[in-house]
Amino acid sequence: MKLSTRGQYATRALVDLAMHRDEAPILLKDIARRQQISQRYLEHLITPLVAAGIIVSTRGPKGGITLVKSPEEIRLDEVIQLLEGAIAPVECINNPGTCIRSRSCATRDVWDELRQTMTDFLRSVTIQDLMERQREKEKSTEVMYYI
Amino acid sequence: MKLSTRGQYATRALVDLAMHRDEAPILLKDIARRQQISQRYLEHLITPLVAAGIIVSTRGPKGGITLVKSPEEIRLDEVIQLLEGAIAPVECINNPGTCIRSRSCATRDVWDELRQTMTDFLRSVTIQDLMERQREKEKSTEVMYYI
DNA sequence: ACTTTGTCGATTAACTTAATCAACAATAAT
DNA sequence: ATTATTGTTGATTAAGTTAATCGACAAAGT
């Protein structure tokens, strides 16, 4: 019951992008360094975000990627769905055909309710929320050092 | 973000066991046939359930497995945890040491809230609930045939 | 031209999953 | 006692997935 690194990294990349929005476009290299993600790997995670119109990329010197959808409109369920495919705790939720028991299976109904619960939660969190939480965390850390 | 077949099959096996409780002990062979699970595979899935005291097994003729914990006391979060390990959408939830960002990572906090949301939902569902839902489904199916 | 920066498809090593198999242990029936 | 039945356990394996990495390429600014 794990999220792959694709969803995790893409989320971190988007928060990073939101936090440095005033310096856009941002280099993949910088996101990779700050978020400790392999740049080669990150390149592949960016593609679906561009395709979905969440970010745009510009090549060449002074290029990089830029957040175009506003952070409060980017919800985690969308990010996860884009990077990992449909949220579904079991295969038969998306493809009922893969199991002949689908129509009459009570456990399947419960997995579908679990899917709904997870989706509802993820939909309630935006990149804006994550950015604010991160700012808050960093502020606390400063205070900690101060003490 | 998938449950493995271990959790799915074990859940189905427990519901099957609850539905045939009056005929206990139940043969693994029969559960495997009714639930369309490989018997060889199922053998491995019942071990943790025995270890947790949810079922007991008796060998030899007239043997099989018997539910000893009552169905309304068996919660799905326990079943999933036993078969798949701790519920955690990302590795750093259980092992904060695997990622040095753990202490200062806002996304990690959100994954932990997701874990809590999932756990709460799974804890709210018991094998008894699933058994009743299954009975209800089978009743509806009969009516369907009737029409 | 040349450098910078993103894009894309192919490949790969490591890991996980979902089984399967064989040898074994316990128990009931005869 | 012997035999048939039933669960137990550890080893093995084929297939699939994950998390990268690599190289060749395309676009854009200087």
pLDDT digits (tens, 9 = 90+) for A44-93: 999 999 999 999 999 999 999 999 999 999 999 999 999 999 999 999 99
Stated length of chain A: 147
Which residue segments constitute the domains of chain B, with CATH numbers given?
5-146 (1.10.10.10)
Burial state string for A53-76 with b = 16 or more CB within 10 A and e = fewer than 16: ebbeeeeeeeebbebebebeebbb
Q: Give the three-state DSSP class for B125.
A: coil
**pTM of the model as a whole:** 0.93
* Nearest residue in B to A121, CA atom: B114
Query: Using one digit for the tens of pLDDT, what is the confidence trace for B41-56?
Result: 999 999 999 999 999 9
Report the interhelical angle of B106-123 vs A106-123 (nearest 10°).
Answer: 150
CA distances to A17, B39, B93, B118 from B109, in Å: 19, 40, 9, 14
Distance between CA atoms of residues B29 and B77, nearest Å = 26
Q: Give the three-state DSSP class for A58.
A: strand
Task: Name the closest nucleotide to A27, judged by C1' and CA.
Answer: C5
**A15 and B CB contact within 8 Å:** yes
Residue with tokens 């893409």: A10
Nucleotide D4 C1' to residue B63 CA (A): 13
Distance between CA atoms of residues A126 and A78, nearest Å = 10
Chain-centroid distance of CA A45 in Å reads 10
